[in-house]
Amino acid sequence: MKYVELSFVLSEKDYLSDIVVAKLNEIEFESYIETEDGVNAYIQEKFYNKEKLNFVLSDLQKLFKFEYSVKDINQENWNSNWEENFEPVEINEQCVIRAHFHEKVDCKFDIIITPKMSFGTGHHETTFLMMNEMFDMNFKGKLVLDMGCGTGVLAILSKMLGSKDTLGIDIDEWSYKNSKENAVLNNLNSIKFLLGDINSVKGSFDIVLANINRNVILSDLDRYYQSMKENSEILLSGFLSDDVKLIREKAESLGLSLVSHKNKNKWNLLHFIK
């Protein structure tokens, strides 16, 4: 499988890389690796649109100066790069995310993830926010929907926390396959995964997890709402602080009530109840 790698050199890596990632999320870039000088972003070749990229780059150039380069890359090369740089991630005292080649961790929730180009290793702030919020919720016996499941890590955690049934959906074929592989790695074969979008959602759920991006959330939030039972909960993440007001207004206009708002390094999470 072919990918396009977009490499950024940034003057203030820690701050500016968040803005770059947020913008690229909106045009289907799906995975990122921090570098010494900035950040590398990856997208499947079939989804790469030079016109959309130029539009995003133009917007970014109005905000700050940066250098960038674009090149084709094989998926195997990305995996090698990832394995060289990936370290286990401690979500909290109970939960650690590691790769299959790391030693087993002595904690209650030891999650094994091999991302293979999919988003959701726990390194990114949004995954960290989502997982920590999940520990404050009751998943026992619940029906859970994970939209944009990526590596399947949120679906996996929901099952470990006691969900009755969990459904993960992703529009990207590689993420869909990767989620299934990661569920098997964690001995959770009962999780169901579908290749599709919001139109693949059937039935109703007690908990909806959507760590995607601002545009998709705003577009599909009404459909999420329709899939929620009365008194069900939804976690939204994948957006920066500037987008919180817009997303909150849309959610509350549908009848959702805010439970909590968390943030980490400019990234945000909104937790609502129906």
Quickly tell me which residue has 């959906």 as its tokens.
Answer: 169
Provide the 10 A C-beta neighbour count for residue 175: 27
Rounded Cα distance, 217 and 239, in Å: 9
Distance in angstroms (rounded) separating the CA atoms of residues 263 and 208 = 19
What is the pLDDT, as a whole number, of residue 80?
63
Question: Which phi-psi region, left, alpha or beta, contains residue 152 (left: φ > 0; alpha: ψ -120 to 50)?
Answer: left
**pLDDT tens-digit series, residues 125-174:** 889 999 999 999 999 999 999 999 988 999 999 999 999 999 999 988 87
User: Given this model, what pLDDT does residue 21 score?
Assistant: 85
Task: Return the closest-CA partner of residue 52 out of 30, 27, 21, 22.
Answer: 27
pLDDT at residue 242, as a whole number: 87
pLDDT at position 105 is 82
Q: Which DSSP symbol is given to 105?
A: P
Q: How many CB atoms lie within 10 A of CB 74?
A: 11
Instruction: Report pTM.
Output: 0.80
Would you give the DSSP letter of residue 227? T
pLDDT tens digits for range 217-271: 999 999 999 999 999 999 999 888 889 999 999 999 999 999 999 998 888 999 9
Q: What is the pLDDT of residue 204?
A: 96
Over the stretch 37-90, which tens digit does the pLDDT of each residue have? 888 888 888 889 999 999 999 999 998 999 999 998 876 656 666 666 667 888
pLDDT at 249: 97
Task: State what percent of residues in the chain have pLDDT above 70.
Answer: 92
Higher pLDDT pick, 164 / 124: 164
Residue 120 pLDDT exceeds 60:
no
pLDDT of residue 3: 82
Q: What is the pLDDT of residue 162?
A: 97
Go through the domains of the chain in sequence order and give each one's CATH number.
Answer: 2-82 (3.30.70.980), 118-273 (3.40.50.150)
pLDDT at residue 76, rounded to an integer: 62
